[in-house]
Chains A and B, each alone.
Chain A
Amino acid sequence: DAKTTQPPSMDCAEGRAANLPCNHSTISGNEYVYWYRQIHSQGPQYIIHGLKNNETNEMASLIITEDRKSSTLILPHATLRDTAVYYCIVRLTTSGTYKYIFGTGTRLKVLA
C-alpha cells in the first residue's frame, strides 16, 4: 500500500507562502493525492486533490512532480487561521473500493 511521508512540523510567517512537502514514492498510476487539514481536534477539512497535473483552488495549490513520487501543498498567503495539522493522503483503489490512509501529518504553525 502506498504510504506518505511528511515532516512532523513546520513554521511559516504570516503573509508568506507555506510550502508543505509530501513523499509518496510507492504511489501507483491510478492513485490520487489528497490534502486535508485539521484544526485542533475538529473534523478534517478537505483542501485539494490531484492525480498528475498541478491543481489550484481558492484555498491552495498542489504541485505534483512528474514522476509522481512527491508533491507540495502551497498556501499562497498563510494566515494565523491556517495553523493546523495538514495531512497528505493517497487514495487506494482495490477492486473498485476506496481506502484512505492518513499519516501523522505536518503540524503547521503560522507565526505573527
Chain B
Amino acid sequence: EAQVTQNPRYLITVTGKKLTVTCSQNMNHEYMSWYRQDPGLGLRQIYYSMNVEVTDKGDVPEGYKVSRKEKRNFPLILESPSPNQTSLYFCASSYGGGTEAFFGQGTRLTVV
C-alpha cells in the first residue's frame, strides 16, 4: 500500500531536548516536504527536498533541520525545541513537486 509514515504520532518533550521526527515513503517519490499546522494559520511549509541531498527552506524553517540521505526518508530534526514549536506536523511526498502529494498521518508535538 502506498503510504507516507511518520513517527512518532504523538510526542511530549521538554525544552531543549533534541528530537527527530521520522518520515518514510514507499512510492519512490523524489519530492518530500514538511509542514506545520497551527490553529488559524493553516499549513505552513518548513522545508522541502527535490531529491537526495537537495533540500531548501520553506516559509518557516527557523529552529528546524532536515536531511535527505536516502530517497525514501526525510527526517525533521529539532535541535533545541522550544514551546513555540508545539504544533501538528505533516510530512508529504510526491513524484515531482507539481504532482499529487501524499501526506502522512501527522505528528502532534508538545514542547513544555
Contacts and interface: CB of A to CB of B under 8 A. Distances in A.
Query: Do A and B come from the same complex?
Result: yes
Contacts of B90: 43-44
Nearest to A31: B98
Contacts, number: 61
B78 interface: no
A45 B3 CA distance: 12
| Chain A interface size range | 20 to 34
A105 B106 CA distance: 18
Contact of A41 (B45, B88, B97): B88
In the A-B complex, the 4 residue pairs with the closest CB atoms: A98-B97, A43-B103, A102-B43, A104-B42
Given A43-B102, A44-B103, 4 more contacts: A43-B103, A43-B105, A98-B98, A100-B45
6 contacts: A41-B37, A42-B106, A43-B105, A45-B103, A102-B35, A104-B42
